[in-house]
Amino acid sequence: MKKHNFSAGPCILPQEVFQQASEAVLDFNGTGLSILEISHRSKEFVAVMKEARALALDLLGLSGKGYHAVFLQGGASMEFLRVPYNLMTVNGKAAYLDTGTWASGAIKEAKAFGDTVVVASSKPENYNHIPKSFEIPTDADYFHCTSNNTIYGTQMRQFPETNVPLVCDMSSDIFSRTLDFSKFDLIYAGAQKNMGPAGTTLVVIKEGLLNKTGRSIPNILNYQQHIDKESMYNTPPVFAVYTSLLTLKWLQNLGGIPAIEKVNEAKAALLYNEIDRNPLFKGTAATEDRSKMNATFLLENEAHAALFDNLWKNAGISGLNGHRSVGGYRASMYNALPLESVQVLVDAMKELERIA
Ligand code: PMP
């Protein structure tokens, strides 16, 4: 039986994408070859890469607006390093907002390159909210933030108005909600939540942003190289890119980001209403910063844990355990998770209330 998969990533993808990807493993588009054995330089795969890059920009509303999209490797963690390497000038300065483990991972990497100013941090409160009042130094080379904090279940609703380039790690909420993406100068996102399997990272870069640091950047770490080589500087992760393309097409057929946003709002409302209504549960994130992708919550009484764990596991739910740094539960409700799965979880919460 197919599980209701609430995993934080890698995570559920559309069922039809699993089907199409598995067919391509056996015979890619009638070529008589598997997607796993074709050359990345074949015209068939070059077309996949081209379409994936174009469709990513299209869905974000950035086509024709002076942006490049590339599919890279090394995970979002590699972009923690590539961002300062490519954007922080020698003797320069960068500004970071510290909203969680991943944000602080990015900060750690930036510190190796220069003056890294943490404009605000919610660490003392175990990252249960997004700091709202902070100042970005006007002489910073860029400002970096994390739109959705996968571990802590918080999400930025507002992004600062600033004259410095805006860089955002959107790994866990890209393609999930409408935003004015043209406000951002660089966006990156590991594929393994809303886009595809693990193994590739989408990086969207505004023209004119690069080549200003005075640094010598190794080719593999140099965004300009990857743009110039059309994401084929070295052998790309063909299967991850192809499966990402299938997911992006699925989203396009659904009506794009505005259509999935409605579903995501319905799922989040259903679950948070139950967390707030049910006296046995409480949320961990500040209400105004609650993430629509990852809902983190606790039992009011730990003594109910064994009973509740049994209930959700027997209901066919998988991947509900919270991250070890928060504990409790985390329900990740990425684009491909159906509303019905959230209903199954809510029913298990109601059942606990009835029998506990
Ligand atoms: N940023 C965010 C917001 C994440 O959720 C994650 C992983 N869950 C990362 C960065 C790190 O991604 P990766 O494992 O692809 O390096």
CATH number at residue 116: 3.40.640.10
| pLDDT of the residue at 297 | 98
> Can you tell me the distance from the alpha carbon of 53 to that of 90, in angstroms, rounded to the nearest whole number?
31
278 within domain boundaries:
yes
169 has catalytic annotation: yes
| pLDDT of the residue at 136 | 98
Indicate if ligand 1 lies below 6 Å from the C-beta of 102.
yes
3 within domain boundaries:
no
Q: Which of 195, 222, 254 is the last residue of a domain?
A: 254
Is 157 annotated in a binding site? The answer is: no
- Residue of 270, 280, 332, 275 whose CA lies nearest to 305: 280
Is 58 annotated in a binding site? The answer is: no
- Residue of 131, 127, 97, 148 whose CA lies nearest to 285: 127
Q: What share of the chain is helix, strand, coil (3-state, %, to 5)?
A: 40, 15, 45
ipTM: 0.99
Average pLDDT, the chain: 98
65 within domain boundaries:
yes
Protein residue with least CA distance to atom 9, ligand 1: 76
The one catalytic residue in 173, 193, 250, 289 is: 193
User: For residue 204, which phi and psi values (nearest 5 degrees)?
Assistant: -115, 125
Is 146 annotated in a binding site? The answer is: no
Is 192 annotated in a binding site? The answer is: yes
Distance of CA 190 from the midpoint of ligand 1 (Å): 6
Same domain membership, residue 175 and residue 55: yes
193 has catalytic annotation: yes
Q: Which of 254, 275, 302 is the last residue of a domain?
A: 254
Same domain membership, residue 37 and residue 164: yes
Look at the alpha carbons of 113, 83, 104, 179 in this order and tell me if their dihedral is positive or negative: positive
Q: Tell me how far the alpha carbon of residue 275 is from its chain's centroid.
A: 24
Same domain membership, residue 186 and residue 137: yes
Same domain membership, residue 215 and residue 295: no
Q: Which of 254, 278, 312 is the last residue of a domain?
A: 254
> Can you tell me the distance from the alpha carbon of 144 to that of 209, in angstroms, rounded to the nearest whole number?
14
Question: DSSP states of 143-200 as a string?
Answer: EEEESEETTTTEE-S-----SSPEEEE-TTTTTSS---GGG-SEEEEETTTTTSSTT-
Indicate if ligand 1 lies below 6 Å from the C-beta of 341.
no
| pLDDT of the residue at 1 | 85
CATH code at position 319: 3.90.1150.10
The one catalytic residue in 98, 141, 169, 289 is: 169
| pLDDT of the residue at 14 | 98
Query: Which atom in ligand 1 lies closest to the alpha carbon of residue 148?
Result: 3
In tens, the pLDDT along 157-199 reads 999 999 999 999 999 999 999 999 999 999 999 999 999 999 9
194 within domain boundaries:
yes
Same domain membership, residue 149 and residue 100: yes
324 within domain boundaries:
yes
Same domain membership, residue 272 and residue 193: no
The one catalytic residue in 98, 102, 249, 289 is: 102
Protein residue with least CA distance to atom 14, ligand 1: 75
- Tell me how many domains the chain contains: 2
Percent of the chain's residues with pLDDT above 70 = 100
Which domain range does residue 331 map to?
Answer: 255-355
Strand blocks (E) in the chain: 4-5, 67-72, 93-98, 115-121, 143-146, 148-149, 154-155, 166-169, 186-190, 201-206, 281-283, 294-299, 317-318, 329-332
All residue ranges of the chain with pLDDT < 70 are none
Distance of CA 26 from the midpoint of ligand 1 (Å): 30
In tens, the pLDDT along 203-229 reads 999 999 999 999 999 999 999 999 999
